[in-house]
């Protein structure tokens, strides 16, 4: 007689949307067995081994998906830019707003003026909105301090925030987000500080899991990004890149050359960029929130990503200037309606491929034995409903590391 295996919990009574290999791979009347915060078995209930569970949870229908992954956010910052949003809609140009001291530098001033505790408190409120909609893994970038100490404070705030929320939080150093006002006429001076002083401190203190940069005509040039990436590589830090958002500079190809985890935005990515990303395994992270708010018209080349088999992730890009988005589900809808993705691609984009964009696909993003037990129960008939409903918090039960939240 086979020995009964003792486990922590069983989860039954719903269809399981595994997202294995980036597809629904739906298991009707599925079961999930959890032990020590890890999935040890996933499959049809009729095939389930003989488990004895300390706790058994039974749902009344619905679906279970992997916990959602928001792989690109800027949730830690001071102040907000709602006044600028109103100004733009009243016809004030971005150049005029910048001349008045607005734009990203307004957020820089507010972030520099905030304490670490204030940054954590305001970010926790924003993050709570995402967690309520099933997010269990999130990446948060620095990049609004733009001086040595303020960037370190932002990264410490991200690490502190991670200790107090039921989510896996990745920190990314985006000190190459924009040039500080003090270095407007001396860009190399900021790059020198970033590479010679800031990044070594970040690495030594374990404050970041990756390094990012903004490659654009109004930010960092490809040559400047290369300098930053060379430094990151020497320190053993993975890289990712804001690329091809407003123009085509070959940033995505550059990111692929460095084996970047992801290239993000990509509205102006070329076939050459996509081919390079396919060869390097770099994920395309699409950010429809910024596309929508900026009222852009150039869409990322979704069909070309499909053609070359480049995984497409979706993320909120939650930030105070161009994507004040607090709903990853809404981004899934926008990925379909604005960019032409399918609902299955959108769900893969916020599960398996979102995890891959963070280098976490071995442990996160799909419901398979050996992965962490992060999943969500939704009282819905089919996965496409996650994309279909606009607005409002869909009722859901979030399970993080095997524990109901």
pTM attached to this predicted model: 0.97
Length of the chain: 405
Helix (H) or strand (E) holding 6: strand 5-17
Annotated binding site for 4-imidazolone-5-propanoate: 81, 144, 177, 245, 322
Using CA atoms, how far apart are residues 86 and 108, in angstroms rounded to an integer? 20
Annotated binding site for N-formimidoyl-L-glutamate: which residue ranges?
144, 319, 321
- Rounded to 5 degrees, φ, ψ at 241 are -150, 135
3-state secondary structure 184-250: CCCHHHHHHHHHHHHHHHHHHHCCCCEEEEEECCCCECHHHHHHHHHHHHHHCCCECEEECCCCCCC
Helices (H), 24-115: 82-89, 94-99, 104-113
Structure tokens at 264: 């993000």
Rg (CA), the chain: 21
Annotated binding site, which residues?
Answer: 72, 74, 81, 144, 177, 242, 245, 317, 319, 321-322
The string of DSSP letters for 92-130 reads --HHHHHHTT-THHHHHHHHHHS-HHHHHHHHHHHHHHH
Task: For residues 199 and 185, give the distance between their C-alpha atoms in angstroms, rounded to a whole number.
Answer: 22
Q: pLDDT (tens digit, 0 to 9) for every residue of the chain, 405 residues total? A: 456 789 999 999 999 999 999 999 999 999 999 999 999 999 999 999 999 999 999 999 999 999 999 999 999 999 999 988 898 899 887 668 877 878 888 999 999 999 999 999 999 999 999 999 999 999 999 999 999 999 999 999 999 999 999 999 999 999 999 999 999 899 999 999 999 999 999 999 999 999 999 999 989 999 999 999 999 999 999 999 999 999 999 999 999 999 999 999 999 999 999 999 999 999 999 999 999 999 999 999 999 999 999 999 999 999 999 999 999 999 999 999 999 999 999 999 999 999 999 999 999 999 999 999 999 999 999 999 999 999 888 899 999 999 999
């Amino acid at each position: 007689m086979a020995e009964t295996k003792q486990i922590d919990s069983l989860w039954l009574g719903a269809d399981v949307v595994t997202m294995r290999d980036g597809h629904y791979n739906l298991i009707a009347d599925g079961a999930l067995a959890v032990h020590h915060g890890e999935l040890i078995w996933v499959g049809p209930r009729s095939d389930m081994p003989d488990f004895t569970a300390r706790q058994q949870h039974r749902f009344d229908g619905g679906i279970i998906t992997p916990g959602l992954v928001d792989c690109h956010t800027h949730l830690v910052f001071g102040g907000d830019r709602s006044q600028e949003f109103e100004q733009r809609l009243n016809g004030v140009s971005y150049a005029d707003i910048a001349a008045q001291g607005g734009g990203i530098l307004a957020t820089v001033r507010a972030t520099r003026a905030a304490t670490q505790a204030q940054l954590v408190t305001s970010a926790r409120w924003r993050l709570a909105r995402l967690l309520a909609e099933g997010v269990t893994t999130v990446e948060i970038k620095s990049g609004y301090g733009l001086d040595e100490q303020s960037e370190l404070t932002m990264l410490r705030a991200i690490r502190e925030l991670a200790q107090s929320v039921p989510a896996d939080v990745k920190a990314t150093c985006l000190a190459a987000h924009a040039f500080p006002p003090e270095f407007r006429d001396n860009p190399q001076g900021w790059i020198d500080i970033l590479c010679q002083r800031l990044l070594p401190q970040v690495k030594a203190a374990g404050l970041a899991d990756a390094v990012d940069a903004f490659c654009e005509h109004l930010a960092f040039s490809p040559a400047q990004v290369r300098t930053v990436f060379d430094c990151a590589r020497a320190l053993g830090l993975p890289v990712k890149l804001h690329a091809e958002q407003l123009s085509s500079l070959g940033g995505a190809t550059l990111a692929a050359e460095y084996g970047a985890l992801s290239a993000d935005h990509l509205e102006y990515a070329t076939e050459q960029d996509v081919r390079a990303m396919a060869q390097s395994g770099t994920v395309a992270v699409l950010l429809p929130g910024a596309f929508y708010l900026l009222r852009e018209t150039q869409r990322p080349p979704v069909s070309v990503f499909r053609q070359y088999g480049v995984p497409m992730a979706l993320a909120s890009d939650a930030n105070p200037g161009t994507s004040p988005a607090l709903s990853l589900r809404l981004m899934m809808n926008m990925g379909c309606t604005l960019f032409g993705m399918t609902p299955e691609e959108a769900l893969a984009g916020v599960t398996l491929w979102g995890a891959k964009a963070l280098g976490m696909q071995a442990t996160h993003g799909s419901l398979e034995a050996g992965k962490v037990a992060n999943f969500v129960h939704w009282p819905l008939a089919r996965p496409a409903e996650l994309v279909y409903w606009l607005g409002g918090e869909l009722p859901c039960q979030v399970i993080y590391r095997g524990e109901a939240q």
